[in-house]
Amino acid sequence: MKVTMIGSGYVGLVSGVCFADFGHDVVCVDKDAGKIEALRKGVMPIYEPGLEQLVATNVKAGRLSFSTDVETSVADSDVVFIAVGTPSRRGDGHADLSYVYAAAREIAAHVKGFTLIVTKSTVPVGTGDEVERIIRDTNPEADVAVVSNPEFLREGAAIEDFKRPDRIVIGISDDRAREVMTEVYRPLYLNQAPLLFTERRTSELIKYAANAFLAMKITFINEVADLCEKVGANVQEVSRGIGLDGRIGAKFLHAGPGYGGSCFPKDTLALAKTAQDHDSPLRLIETTISINDNRKRAMGRKVIAAVGGEVRGKKIAVLGLTFKPNTDDMRDSPAISIIRTLQDGGANVVGYDPEGMENATTVIDDIVYAKDAYAAADGADALVIVTEWNQFRALDMARLKKIMANPILVDLRNIYRHDEIVRHGFHYTSIGRPDLAEKT
């Protein structure tokens, strides 16, 4: 199969290289000439475990190439994926579809022979209809089928998620297209990954409903964590206790500082807007959004309380800046609001992140970056773990105790146990668990 991927960002690049690895002939296209030039030299635009190696292998095998030229690759393709960004539109929170529509116009002008146009970008219900209209208006002769095929990759685990998906959702109404899509995903199909064929609008909604449900699940356990703190219960045990019920499921029940990233915040907002426009509001999702926004700021206040209610002039070390581990993505990271709240209170913030510091400089002002966790903690009045990178899971507490000005650890991801930290003479605050430090 000859495949073109329009947009070589996170989704396009990971999907493109994985399709190439399945044996398809893939061209990843992007308008950003600098990005394409870098990719040709083997330099990745994002940090994603395993990506660089997989790109190198498939480029070497001659199955993957990079281009800025839509015309040649589209004319040659059986399938063209649209994997461009759909950011929140400034001002109203609707998904900004201008990149998707621009891609559709460009593709329409160059398609030859029966071609599938597949939307992989996260797009609101009805976008496929509009893409189809644009293509037919631009090129009435075009023999195309417009398909919805949302992606469910998690940053940091994207290649694994692509190769071992829980399901593949395909919104389609054309039998020829159905055959081609089955061929595109044949290796996964042979591995028995369920291929779910639906109407196109249903497929578009499945993507939003999945992300909104997961965001709601996280938000639910975050609120339960707050209650646990008030009533002296342990949220990790509550999660386990409810997660073992097969109807609930154990995943996405880790209480933390609130969800962030490039997907949940923008997708929940876009879904809520779509629902309002159709006079069918999703109040659970609207509430989820507002609880999560408030939570990020509340986490800053939680740190201030752990330090004794006053951070003016104090040095606070923050470990982990990205919205989750194994990515360099800072978009909507809880660290941004937490650090801002600390700075508003007059704190001097030192930050460290294994991969995210370069991107952090574009969204966080006035912090000092340290070269590792210990350099950040040196002389600090408190150490705050915001993102659960593996390298923060076994910190040398004795060493930290010696170098910190005050032994206060705020663990917003519950990666430590109270007893092991308190034993080293720390005051320890975590999320939704009885605060033993207060009792010693």
Q: Which residues are catalytic?
A: 263
At 99, list the tokens: 């990149």
The interface with ligand UGA within residues 234-253 (CB under 6 A) comprises 252-253
Look-up: residue for tokens 């097969």?
246
Stretch of 89-97, 108-116, 176-184, 262-270 lying at the interface with ligand UGA (CB under 6 A) = 262-270
Smallest gap from Cβ 216 to ligand UGA, in A, equals: 11
Stretch of 65-73, 148-156, 223-231, 399-407 lying at the interface with ligand UGA (CB under 6 A) = 148-156
Instruction: State the number of binding residues for ligand UGA (CB under 6 A).
Output: 21
Q: Applying CB under 6 A, does 95 fall inside the site for ligand UGA? A: no
What residue type is 417 in one-letter code? R
- Of these, 66, 152, 208, 416, which contacts ligand UGA (CB under 6 A)? 152
d(CA 360, CA 333): 10
Strands 368-369 and 195-198: unpaired
d(CA 149, CA 88): 20
Q: Applying CB under 6 A, does 328 fall inside the site for ligand UGA? A: no
Q: Applying CB under 6 A, does 254 fall inside the site for ligand UGA? A: yes
- Of these, 323, 392, 426, 428, which contacts ligand UGA (CB under 6 A)? 323
Angle of helix 98-110 relative to helix 127-138, nearest 10 degrees, comes to 40
Q: Applying CB under 6 A, does 204 fall inside the site for ligand UGA? A: no
d(CA 370, CA 382): 15
Whether 58 and 21 have beta carbons less than 8 Å apart is answered as yes
- Nearest Cα to 428, choosing from 404, 411, 406, 405? 411
- Of these, 169, 214, 285, 339, which contacts ligand UGA (CB under 6 A)? 214
| Residue 253 or 347 with smaller CB distance to ligand UGA | 253
Smallest gap from Cβ 397 to ligand UGA, in A, equals: 24
Q: Applying CB under 6 A, does 151 fall inside the site for ligand UGA? A: yes
Whether 37 and 80 have beta carbons less than 8 Å apart is answered as no
At 244, list the tokens: 């073992």
d(CA 117, CA 240): 43
- The residues of the shown chain that bind ligand UGA, judged by CB under 6 A, are 122, 151-155, 211, 214, 218, 252-254, 256, 259-261, 263-264, 267, 323-324
